[in-house]
Amino acid sequence: MPDFIAISDLPRFLDQPVKLRGWIRAIRSSGKIRFVELRDGTGDCQCTVEAAYAEAFAALEGCGQESSVEICGVSRAEPRGPGGVEVSAREVRVLHQAEAYPIARKEHGVDFLMQHRHLWLRSPRQAAILRVRHRIIQAARQFFDDNGFTLIDTPIFQPGAAEGAGTLFEVDYFGDPAFLAQTGQLYLETAAMALGKVYCFGPTFRAEKSKTRRHLTEFWMIEPEIAFYELEDLEALSEEFLSQIVQAVLTHNRADLELLERNVAALENIRAPFPRMTYSEAVDFLHDPGLHEKLEAELEAERGRLGEIRKAISETETQLGQVTKAWKVEKLGNDLKALKEQAGELERWLANRPAHIEDAKNFQWGKDFGGDEETILSNQFERPLIVTEYPREVKAFYMKQNPADPRTVRNLDVLAPEGYGEIIGGSQREDDLQTLLDRMAEEGMDPEPYQWYLDLRRYGSVPHGGFGLGIERTVSWICGLKHIRETIPFPRLMGKMMP
RNA sequence: UCCAGCGUGGCUCAAUGGUAGAGCGGGUGACUGUUAAUCACUAGGUUGUAGGUUCGAGUCCUACCGCUGGAGCCA
């Protein structure tokens, strides 16, 4: 008898004795035969246990969902089993008989699932997201490692704000105030002056009171910082970086994307070059009558989609009249509710859209883009959109003033397609000491605690820059999720920390 | 913080102001090919909390608590 094998390896062990171990995802009985859907983290496999194997059959008595078991049996090709391979069990050893498992194989409310996040992770969909998350992180690090970057760990306890204060978590540090890092950037700049190309990867914290599908209070960010890099270099880097991440997911996690019902074709499009525009060009674009026509056409198309949803609603209602089984009635009822929600959401969108178009027409140079403008801009492209050179006033003090136009800075934002918003933000950094001091004064900042940072501009200052990629927003986009809470094992949301 | 919506068995939901129910899950039994199996039986409730209106409140009113969605801010 061989050692335990992973379910994912099962096709290599056809018609052989095998030993599996894992958890029961579902169990059904039909008198003298039991069907066990076993999962082990690598895949799912149906095992049949016949009453002829009396001990094995009896062992499963009272075993419900998520009981842990070891199963020895013989594998065989079986089209009736999910995955095409089935194991006929000869021996079953129950490791632990689970109590009644709270998460049933049916729809649940978000609140309930969030309270059971520790168990929810066992669901196929959540596991698929976590695998894609892992791939994204792995590919991101691989990209930097392959391109001569050195990983630098920046501190999580930090003395002050890199960007606007008031959005930081304050902690007591032996009687003095300290703050949880919202970026490793300032420290990373020092390391870039030592090692040239560096990156950091770690958790960051924002105390913003944002309750939206795009916000977490604790999230992970990967940030490269490179000496002698200017804005154009950063644009090229971000483009190559994102392309490779997406391609890695497509190569290794296709099954996960399919399970998530992600539109894979949209991801296959994500290759350099990405469209680029400056902030000023973006503002002109928002004012362009051609865009308004396109948006009106889009509005028409969405009205058509609303019609389709309404058709689906009436079809579901018809089906509902034909079904008698109570749980099927319930399921169709849930489908109907979801469709109605979708229709409602679309109706609201359609109602607000003319105002958004109006806002776009009237957008004034100098304001920061809101979510609506970002969405309008990025929706015009099938690839991520790189927007550069924003007005100085809306951006952080350390960003390099644009020599060609001092009203703007040499920064970049990368907006994901399909309305997923900003996934990368970065800039070339101000390398001139006096300009930086002036800028800090403009912001009312005390330069004293930043002397170490200013030293970089005193001892061999060079052009340099970097950016940060938000892992969770990237996961959300690549997986096509509706809410960022599913992108991280234990999301920290405003006012929510359990489990 | 502001606006909107929702709180009924473990879960998902029903119930004109008039005796609180169903399905799933749990338990018991039947069934050798199930895919959320099917069939029968069974246990399980102070309807978020506190007041109020009423002969009578799950249902109406007020406050609070919790959750969800959206806005601002951001990755």
Could you tell me if A339 and A316 are in contact, meaning their C-beta atoms sit under 8 angstroms apart? Answer: yes
**Nucleic acid strand B within 7 Å of A107 CB:** yes
* CA atoms of A235 and A274, how far apart (whole Å): 9
For A288-297, A313-322, A378-387, which range has the lowest pLDDT when averaged over its residues? A313-322
**In the predicted structure, residue A1 carries a pLDDT above the cut 70:** no
User: Does residue A344 reach within 7 angstroms of strand B, measured from its CB?
Assistant: no
Q: Which residue has the higher pLDDT, A419 or A427?
A: A427
CA of A100 to C1' of B44 (A): 14
Q: Is the CB of A167 under 7 A from strand B?
A: yes
- Window 346-375 of chain A: CB closer than 7 A to strand B: 368, 370-372, 374
The token pair at A436 is 């930086």
> CA of A497 and C1' of B8: distance in angstroms?
27
The protein residue nearest B67 (Cα–C1') is A111
A3 Cβ contacts chain B strand, under 7 Å: no
Helix-helix angle A326-362:A279-287, to 10 degrees: 100
Give A498 CA → B52 C1' in Å.
36
Distance CA A194, CA A180 (A): 25
pLDDT computed for residue A161 by the predictor: 60
* pLDDT per position as a tens digit, A406-417: 999 999 999 999
Instruction: Give residues 421-460 of chain A lying near strand B (Cβ < 7 A).
Output: 421-425
Cα dihedral A236/A238/A244/A248 (nearest 10):
180
Q: Is the CB of A224 under 7 A from strand B?
A: no
β-bridge partners, A227: A464
Q: Is the CB of A288 under 7 A from strand B?
A: no
Backbone angles phi, psi at A4, to 5 degrees: -60, 140
Estimate in Å the CA A33 to C1' B40 gap, whole number. 20
Query: C-alpha angle with apex A195: A190 to A197, nearest 5 degrees?
Result: 95
Q: How many CB atoms lie within 10 A of CB A281?
A: 13
> For residues A18 and A38, what is the distance between their CA atoms, to the nearest angstrom?
14
Say how far A210 CA is from B52 C1', in Å: 36
Distance CA A106 to C1' B22 in A: 16
pLDDT for the residue numbered A165: 52
Instruction: For residue A341, give every residue at least 6 positions away whose Cβ sits within 8 Å of its Cβ, in sequence order, or none.
Output: none
Res A2: pLDDT: 57
User: Is the C-beta of residue A483 closer than 7 Å to nucleic acid chain B?
Assistant: yes
Please say whether the dihedral angle defined by the alpha carbons of residues A14, A19, A22 and A23, taken in this order, is positive or negative: positive
Q: How far is CA A46 from CA A121, A260, A425, in A?
A: 21, 22, 46
Q: Closest nucleotide to residue A487 (Cα to C1')?
A: B75
Q: pLDDT tens, A302-345?
A: 888 888 888 887 787 777 777 777 788 777 777 777 777 777 77
Query: Which tokens sit at A353?
Result: 């859209």
Q: Which of A's residues 111-140 have CB atoms within 7 A of nucleic strand B? A: 111-112, 114
- The lowest-confidence range among A122-136, A305-319, A370-384, A477-491 is A305-319
Q: State residue A224's pLDDT score.
A: 97
pLDDT of A166 higher than 60? no
Distance of CA A174 to the CA centre of its chain: 36
For the cut 80, the answer to whether the pLDDT of residue A119 exceeds it is: yes
Is nucleic acid strand B under 7 Å from A109's C-beta?
Answer: yes
Sequence-distant contacts of A75-79: CB under 8 A, at least 24 apart: A75/A10, A75/A13, A75/A14, A75/A15, A75/A16, A75/A18, A76/A14, A76/A15, A77/A14, A78/A46
Contacts of A57 (CB under 8 A, 6+ apart): A34, A49, A50, A51, A92
CA of A427 to C1' of B61 (A): 57
Nucleotide nearest to A115 (CA to C1'): B67
Contact status, residue A263 vs residue A328, Cβ threshold 8 Å: no
For strand B, which residues in window 381-410 of chain A come within 7 Å by CB? 394
Distance A116 CA to B4 C1' (A): 27
Q: Is A322 left (phi over 0), alpha (psi -120 to 50) or beta?
A: alpha
Q: With 70 as the cut, is the pLDDT of residue A164 above it?
A: no
Q: Are the CB atoms for A7 and A42 separated by under 8 Å? A: yes
Strand B contact at CB of residue A227, distance < 7 A = no
DSSP for residue A403:
T
pLDDT of res. A355: 79
A217 touches strand B (CB under 7 A): yes
- Measured CA A235 to C1' B10 distance, in angstroms: 53
| Residue whose CA lies closest to nucleotide B27 C1' | A62
ipTM: 0.88
pLDDT over 80 at A464, yes or no: yes
Q: Could you tell me which residues come within 8 angstroms of residue A292 by beta carbon, excluding any fewer than 6 positions away? A: A357, A360, A361
CA–C1' gap, A119 and B75, in angstroms: 28
- In tens, the pLDDT along A244-288 reads 999 999 999 999 999 999 999 999 999 999 999 999 999 999 999
- In this complex, the answer to whether residue A166 has its CB under 7 A from any atom of chain B, a nucleic strand, is no
- Alpha carbon A429 to its chain's center: 27
- Measure A318 CA to B14 C1' (Å): 20
Rg (CA), chain A: 27
Please check whether strand B approaches the CB of A30 to within 7 Å: yes
Shortest-distance nucleotide from A329 CA to C1' = B23
Nearest-10 crossing angle of helices A279-287, A371-378: 80
Q: Determine the distance between A211 (CA) and B4 (C1') in angstroms.
A: 14
Question: Which is it for strands A385-388 and A218-227: parallel, antiparallel or unpaired?
Answer: unpaired
A247 contact to strand B (CB, 7 A limit): no
List of residues 6+ apart from A344 with CB closer than 8 A: none
Q: How far apart are CA A110 and CA A414, in angstroms?
A: 30
